[in-house]
């Protein structure tokens, strides 16, 4: 059903109704002037009046049925000719004999009567299709059709019954006809047009039945004519009706093809050719009505946003098409594939395939691990896949059907997919613990919004000291959440949630504000120290430069006292853009550090592309320095490489003196870890710095 605004005055309906009244006046008033049949031009004028009325009625009907007025006008002509052919066969001899009419005049009268019958039929069709009481013109349309039929019956009746040709009866009939036309036309003209009309879709099957009925009548007339002979006018009307019938059938076939195309478009994803969300929901609902096993796989591409941001949406679209092709290539028979939107796809399995849903999901995951060639680049976009199942044995209700719903299965698959993404497991099958974690994550997200508004995020700072002499060279800002009920919450418990719900930028802004303010406070207290802030892939955007510059100016902080830490994986998706943003930050005077160096895929290339001041060796290499010669060689090579490129080296995760001594032997510049201090609140770190300044330096060895 389609809702359309109809704010116009219904001018076409009113013009048609007024034209009908003017054209019918000569015929309606003729009994006042002559007891005989009026001239031929008067009868023709009356026929045109009825057709004008039908045109106005078709306009009213088109307001309630989603079909053009032109198509309705075509139908009206077809029905008029078919009806006229039948009336000419049945009544033409009667009119010529009992009423004493000439053949031409009798033909015109019967054609006019057929038009009147069509007028009444149009009004009744409008009444059947319109919502009751919504459009006052509908009742007037039916009344107008009834008046047209009555006015057409009175002329032959008057000619057949001599008493009706007397002056007073004749005048009375004329007045009745005139008043009838005047009343219904006034009703159509004065009736208000609804501001909003519920338009029903064209009843295609009903249209076909009416067309076939007209064709049957016309064909029957011609068959009768072939057997016993019929008036030439009847044969001509029937032939013209069949010509219009062929034209109408052609239109119906075209509409059917268009309707089929519209249906396919409504359930098909235009980009990939897979089904869309609507088709999946329909297939899922149908599958759940059976007693078979049902499984739903929901998959979301990892890092797809990076592809869109780095290469543009056309490249993203090409990647989605390739993903769809791979899904088709590995899918089991009978599976329903759909793209739900964005980078989210779904696979519906039934029967034996549903029982192997986990194996199917693993196959899909493996297929998407292979890189895709997009615009000359190899793009990695693996997927996180959630699996939700409904076993046929889990039944309930009087009918024995399962109680699972499509929405429930979609929700559980989505929950499992999120678990696979956060756990980086690739595939996860839904379990009750996933629902619990999903509720906890939802609660965490809502509480985090409140935390950002109320300033509940705080920073702890971990010192970075020179390996050579133990001097403090900087601190790393590490965010914590001072939760009103849960106490101090570690970053792992909320940073991932922040990114997923779109709060990552707000968290980074809060960290930057706190870090710059604290660095400015330490500088004002006479103990300037460089503060490093961690950034995610989403943070390395051109707008970051303006935000950092504004904070530095607002607090009067020298840019060299601020550093930003990035990971290799956060910039590998778009190193060109990342390099441009980081160069702008370096242009302000801010330093850049590469965190977790050695754990990514493109370390050496990134060191050459990015304006880096410092490299931080990951704790997984540092912790095993004394026991793993291979890792020791990796750290030595990293130190030599960084120094060769003019960069400093920071070792993370230093927890004992033996490791510190090894770092000194390797020439590492800076040490960070629990050996020196845990991350501390600002006040405690200030006290730590004061105590450090008054105590002998902690040296290597």
Task: Flag whether pLDDT at 125 surpasses 60.
Answer: yes
What pLDDT shows up at residue 699?
A: 43
Q: Is the pLDDT of residue 258 over 80?
A: no
pLDDT of 69 reads 60
Residue 597: the pLDDT is 77
Mean pLDDT for 328-340 is 88
- Residue 131: its pLDDT value, please? 62
The average confidence (pLDDT) of the chain is 81
* Bigger pLDDT: 699 vs 430: 430
Whether the pLDDT of residue 478 is over 90: the answer is yes
Q: In a 10 Å sphere around its CB, with 0-12 CB exposed, 13-18 middle and 19+ buried, how is residue 556 labelled? A: exposed
CA 262/CA 282 separation, integer angstroms: 16
pLDDT for residue 405: 80
Distance, CA of 151 to CA of 174 (rounded, Å): 9
Label residues 17-37 b or e (16+ Cβ within 10 Å = b): bbbbbebbbbbbebbeeeeeb
Q: 300: which residues sit within 8 A by CB, 6+ positions away?
A: 343, 344, 345, 383, 384, 417, 421
Q: How confident is the model at residue 24 (pLDDT cuts 50, 70, 90)?
A: confident
Mean pLDDT lowest among 144-153, 556-565, 596-605? 596-605
Query: DSSP 3-state assignment of 343?
Result: coil
Provide the percentage of residues in the chain whose pLDDT is more than 70. Answer: 83
Interacting residues of 421 by C-beta distance below 8 A, sequence separation 6+: 300, 302, 384
Taking the C-alpha atoms of residue 81 and residue 247, their distance in angstroms, rounded to an integer, is: 14
Quote the pLDDT of residue 465: 96
pLDDT (average), residues 563-574: 77
Q: Which helix (H) or strand (E) holds 283?
A: helix 277-288
For 73-89, write each residue's pLDDT tens digit.
777 788 888 888 888 88
User: What domains, with CATH codes, occur in the chain?
Assistant: 41-191+204-260 (no CATH), 277-391+405-433 (3.30.70.270), 447-694 (3.20.20.450)
Q: pLDDT, tens digit, for every residue of 418-477?
A: 888 877 888 988 876 666 666 777 788 888 999 999 999 999 999 999 999 999 999 999
- What pLDDT is recorded for position 675? 93
More confident: 496 or 155? 496
Q: What is the pLDDT of residues 496-514, one digit of tens each?
A: 888 877 888 999 999 999 9
Q: Is the pLDDT of residue 399 over 60?
A: no
pLDDT for res 249? 72
The confidence score (pLDDT) of residue 695 equals 66
- The pLDDT assigned to 175 comes to 81
- Backbone angle region of 387, left / alpha / beta, with phi > 0 → left and psi within -120 to 50 → alpha: beta
Contact 631, 666 (CB under 8 A): no
pLDDT for 279-292, tens place per residue? 888 889 888 888 88
Q: How far apart are CA 701 and CA 699, in angstroms?
A: 6
Residues 6+ apart with CB under 8 A from 372: 319, 322, 323, 378, 379, 381
Average pLDDT of 167-180? 78
Answer yes or no: is pLDDT of 223 > 70. Answer: yes
Contact indicator for 462, 678 with CB cutoff of 8 Å: yes
**How is residue 201 written in tokens?**
């879709």
- Give the residue with greater pLDDT, 359 vs 397: 359
In this prediction, residue 8 has a pLDDT band, given cuts at 50, 70 and 90, of very low
Stretch (H or E) spanning 230: none
Instruction: Say which residue, 221 or 525, is predicted with more confidence.
Output: 525
Q: What angle do CA 575, 576, 577 make, to 5 degrees?
A: 95
Can you give the pLDDT at residue 696?
Answer: 56
pLDDT of residue 467: 94
What pLDDT was estimated at residue 453?
Answer: 92
Q: Provide the percentage of residues in the chain whose pLDDT is more than 90.
A: 27
| pLDDT single digits (tens) 348-385 | 999 888 888 999 999 999 998 888 888 888 888 889 99
Please state, in angstroms and rounded to a whole number, the distance separating the CA atoms of residues 159 and 5.
49
Q: How confident is the model at residue 138 (pLDDT cuts 50, 70, 90)?
A: confident
User: Are the C-beta atoms of residues 110 and 148 closer than 8 Å to each other?
Assistant: no
What is the model's pLDDT at position 33? 64
pLDDT in tens, 644-653: 999 999 999 9
Backbone Cα Rg of the chain: 42
User: What confidence score (pLDDT) does residue 124 get?
Assistant: 79
């Amino acid at each position: 059903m389609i809702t359309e605004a109809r704010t116009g005055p219904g001018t076409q309906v009113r013009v048609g109704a007024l034209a009908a009244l003017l054209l019918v006046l000569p015929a309606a008033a003729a009994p006042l002037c002559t007891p005989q049949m009026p001239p031929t031009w008067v009868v023709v004028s009356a026929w045109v009046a009825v057709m004008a009325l039908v045109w106005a009625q078709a306009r009213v009907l088109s307001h309630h049925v989603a079909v053009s007025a032109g198509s309705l006008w075509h139908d009206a002509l077809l029905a008029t000719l078919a009806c006229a052919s039948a009336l000419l066969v049945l009544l033409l001899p009667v009119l010529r004999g009992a009423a004493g009419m000439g053949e031409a005049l009798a033909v015109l009268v019967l054609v006019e009567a057929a038009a009147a019958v069509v007028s009444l039929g149009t009004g009744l069709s409008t009444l059947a299709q319109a919502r009751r009481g919504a459009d006052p013109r509908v009742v007037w349309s039916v009344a107008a059709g009834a008046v047209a039929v009555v006015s057409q019956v009175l002329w032959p009746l008057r000619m057949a019954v001599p008493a009706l040709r007397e002056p007073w009866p004749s005048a009375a009939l004329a007045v009745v006809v005139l008043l009838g036309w005047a009343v219904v036309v006034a009703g159509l003209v004065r009736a208000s047009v609804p501001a909003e009309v519920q338009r029903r879709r064209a009843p295609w099957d009903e249209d076909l039945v009416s067309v076939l009925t007209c064709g049957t009548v016309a064909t029957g007339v011609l068959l009768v004519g072939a057997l016993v002979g019929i008036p030439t006018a009847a044969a001509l009307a029937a032939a013209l009706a069949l010509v219009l019938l062929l034209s109408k059938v052609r239109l119906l076939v075209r509409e059917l093809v268009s309707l089929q195309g519209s249906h396919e478009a409504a359930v098909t994803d235009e980009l990939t050719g897979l089904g869309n969300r609507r088709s999946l929901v329909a297939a899922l609902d149908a599958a759940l009505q059976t007693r078979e096993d049902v499984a739903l796989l929901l998959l979301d591409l990892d890092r797809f946003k990076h592809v869109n941001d780095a290469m543009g949406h056309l490249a993203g679209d090409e990647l989605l098409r390739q993903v769809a092709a791979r899904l088709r290539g590995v899918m089991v028979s009978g599976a329903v594939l759909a793209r739900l939107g964005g980078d989210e796809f779904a696979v519906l399995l039934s029967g034996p395939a549903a029982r192997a849903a986990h194996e199917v999901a693993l196959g899909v995951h493996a297929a998407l691990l292979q890189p895709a060639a997009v615009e000359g680049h190899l793009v990695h976009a693996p997927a996180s896949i959630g699996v939700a199942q409904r076993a046929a044995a889990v039944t309930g209700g009087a009918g024995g059907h399962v109680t699972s719903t499509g929405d429930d299965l979609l929700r559980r698959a989505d929950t499992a997919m999120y678990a696979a993404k956060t756990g980086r497991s690739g595939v996860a099958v839904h379990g009750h613990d996933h629902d619990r974690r999903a509720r906890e994550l939802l609660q965490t997200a809502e509480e985090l919004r409140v935390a950002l508004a109320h300033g509940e995020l705080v920073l702890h700072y971990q010192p970075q000291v020179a390996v050579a002499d133990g001097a403090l060279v900087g601190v790393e800002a590490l965010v914590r959440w001072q939760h009103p009920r849960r106490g101090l919450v570690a970053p792992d418990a909320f940073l991932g949630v922040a990114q997923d719900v779109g709060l990552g930028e707000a968290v980074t802004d809060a960290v930057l504000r706190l870090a710059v303010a604290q660095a400015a406070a330490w500088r004002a207290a006479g103990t300037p120290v460089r503060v490093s802030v961690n950034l995610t892939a989403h943070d390395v955007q051109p707008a970051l430069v303006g935000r950092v510059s504004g904070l530095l100016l607002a607090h009067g902080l020298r840019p060299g006292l601020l550093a930003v830490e990035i990971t290799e994986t956060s910039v590998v998706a778009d190193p060109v853009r990342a390099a441009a943003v980081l160069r702008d930050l370096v242009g302000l005077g801010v330093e850049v550090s590469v965190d977790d160096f050695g754990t990514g895929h493109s370390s050496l290339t990134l060191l050459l592309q990015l304006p880096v001041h410092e490299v931080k060796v990951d704790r997984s290499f540092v912790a095993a320095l004394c026991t793993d010669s291979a890792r020791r060689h990796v750290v030595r090579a990293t130190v030599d490489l960084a120094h060769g490129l003019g960069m400093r080296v920071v070792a993370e995760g230093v927890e004992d003196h033996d490791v510190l001594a090894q770092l000194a032997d390797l020439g590492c510049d800076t040490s960070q870890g629990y050996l020196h201090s845990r991350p501390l609140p600002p006040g405690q770190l200030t006290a730590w710095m004061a105590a450090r300044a008054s105590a002998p330096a902690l040296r290597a060895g």
